[in-house]
């Protein structure tokens, strides 16, 4: 994993040093700790990393609060070191007094991109650079749950952190559940992406999970709106053998037929045993064969081994395996055809 992430660091260093993103890890760390650190920087907050007197390490991520993250990291380190450890990093900061560092700028509370019931908002849990210096922006849309569950403010999936390490600002496409109709949300997203492009971002990636992924595919009907779309477990209707799920298959074909983004790259991910998918083989063929003729490149991650269910893209294991590949697909001059 250290080797897989190391290519990100030189690109970041061109603009300014970002110690929290340096996969080399803490000074004096042993090989195991350096490898753990290279993975740790790609994981979601709340998180903490601890180091022992002989270079041992321990980490925690995705904790409910900072106190839990710190305690777990220290305990994991102490089990390896056999003695007390000290905290080295907490969330986006390096807290070791010898190398103390905080991000030079914080994400603004808002960019003013939004309207009634929706907003494209910077996420403060990521490094922020601003349009002038960022490699681009990635806009992540959450899913839509039952009983009007409100997912606004939810941290994007773990793999998105790899884009942040590669220099991208991270923003959320938040929608109020009472107004979150699929076609209405796609209209909001088109408007927001135009305004984000006008703000000066050189490359725009639109991504999402479930209904957020569905919206990311819908905006491909507008040429030049996005450079890359990443759709994780795209869905817009109910599950099981319902007519809604049958309608979803028809509507996905319609979205593909309306796609008109000859310069865009599209990554499409689906998982085995997803109850929101009626015909995974048919979906794979539709994306590979028909959408592939309407966009510049397609990366199909089709039911990868070891991942199952509608939410499989959320897990850190998915980020470990596919995060760097998704970044390479979005940014490399010659995008990889597979992971």
Closest CA to 271 of 296, 240, 234: 234
The DSSP letter of residue 299 is E
Written as six digits, the tokens of 132 are 């002038």
| Residue indicated by tokens 């700028």 | 105
Cβ neighbours of 104 (radius 10 Å): 11
Closest CA to 124 of 167, 162, 156: 156
pLDDT score of 91 more than 70: yes
Burial class (CB in 10 A: 0-12, 13-18, 19+), 333: exposed
Cβ neighbours of 311 (radius 10 Å): 17
Confidence of residue 218 (pLDDT cuts 50, 70, 90): very high
Q: Which CATH number fits domain 113-331: 3.40.50.1820, 3.30.1370.100, 3.30.1490.100, 3.40.50.720?
A: 3.40.50.1820
pLDDT in tens, 93-107: 999 999 999 999 999
Helix axis angle for 211-218 and 243-258, nearest 10°, is 30
What is the Cα–Cα distance from 197 to 113, expressed in whole angstroms?
11
| Residue indicated by tokens 């992430």 | 5
Higher pLDDT, 241 or 222: 222
Higher pLDDT, 146 or 231: 231
Domain ranges for the chain: 2-99, 113-331
Percentage of the chain beyond pLDDT 70 is: 93
pLDDT in tens, 265-321: 999 999 999 999 999 999 999 999 999 999 999 999 999 999 999 999 999 999 999
Helix axis angle for 211-218 and 182-198, nearest 10°, is 60
Q: For CA atoms 9, 12, 14, 19, give the dihedral sign.
A: negative
Parallel/antiparallel/unpaired status of strands 204-209 and 228-232: parallel
Written as six digits, the tokens of 94 are 């390096």
Cis upstream peptide for 46 (omega within 30°): yes
- The three-point CA angle 313-163-170 to 5° equals 90
Name residue 175's beta-bridge partners.
Answer: 118
- Output the pLDDT for position 9: 40
**Dihedrals φ, ψ of 125, to 5°?**
-85, 10
Name the pTM for this structure.
0.93
Closest CA to 214 of 145, 146, 268: 268
pLDDT in tens, 48-75: 999 999 999 999 999 999 999 999 999 9
Per DSSP, helices labelled H in the chain are 2-6, 8-15, 31-40, 66-81, 160-165, 182-198, 211-218, 243-258, 280-285, 316-331
Number of H helices, E strands in the chain: 10, 12
Confidence of residue 242 (pLDDT cuts 50, 70, 90): low
> Are the beta carbons of 271 and 318 closer than 8 angstroms?
no
């Amino acid at each position: 994993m250290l080797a897989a992430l190391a290519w990100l660091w030189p690109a970041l260093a061109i603009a300014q040093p970002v110690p929290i993103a340096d996969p080399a890890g803490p000074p004096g760390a042993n090989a195991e700790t350096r490898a753990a650190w290279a993975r740790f920087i790609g994981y979601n907050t709340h998180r903490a990393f601890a180091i022992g007197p002989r270079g041992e390490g321990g980490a925690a991520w995705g904790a409910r609060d900072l106190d839990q993250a710190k305690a777990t990291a220290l305990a994991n380190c102490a089990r390896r070191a056999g003695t007390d450890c000290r905290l080295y990093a907490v969330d986006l900061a390096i807290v070791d007094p010898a190398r103390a560092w905080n991000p030079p700028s914080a994400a603004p509370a808002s960019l003013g991109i939004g309207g009634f019931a929706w907003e494209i908002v910077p996420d403060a849990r990521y490094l922020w650079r601003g349009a002038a210096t960022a490699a681009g922006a990635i806009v992540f849309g959450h899913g839509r749950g039952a009983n009007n569950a409100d997912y606004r403010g939810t941290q994007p999936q773990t793999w998105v952190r790899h884009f942040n390490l590669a220099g991208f600002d991270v923003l959320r496409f938040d929608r109020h559940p009472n107004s979150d109709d699929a076609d209405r949300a796609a209209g909001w997203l088109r408007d927001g992406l135009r305004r984000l492009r006008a703000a000066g971002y050189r490359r725009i990636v639109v991504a999402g999970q479930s209904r957020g992924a569905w919206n990311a595919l819908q905006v491909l009907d507008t040429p030049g709106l996005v450079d890359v779309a990443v759709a994780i477990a795209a869905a817009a209707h109910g599950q099981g053998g319902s007519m809604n799920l049958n309608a979803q298959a028809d509507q996905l074909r319609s979205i593909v037929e309306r796609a008109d983004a000859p310069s865009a790259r599209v990554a499409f991910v689906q998982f085995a045993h997803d109850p929101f998918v009626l015909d995974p083989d048919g979906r794979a063929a539709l994306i590979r064969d028909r959408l592939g003729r309407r966009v510049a490149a397609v990366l199909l991650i089709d039911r990868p081994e070891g991942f199952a269910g509608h939410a499989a893209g959320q897990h850190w294991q998915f980020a470990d395996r596919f995060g760097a590949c998704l970044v390479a697909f979005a940014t490399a001059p010659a995008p990889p055809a597979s992971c």
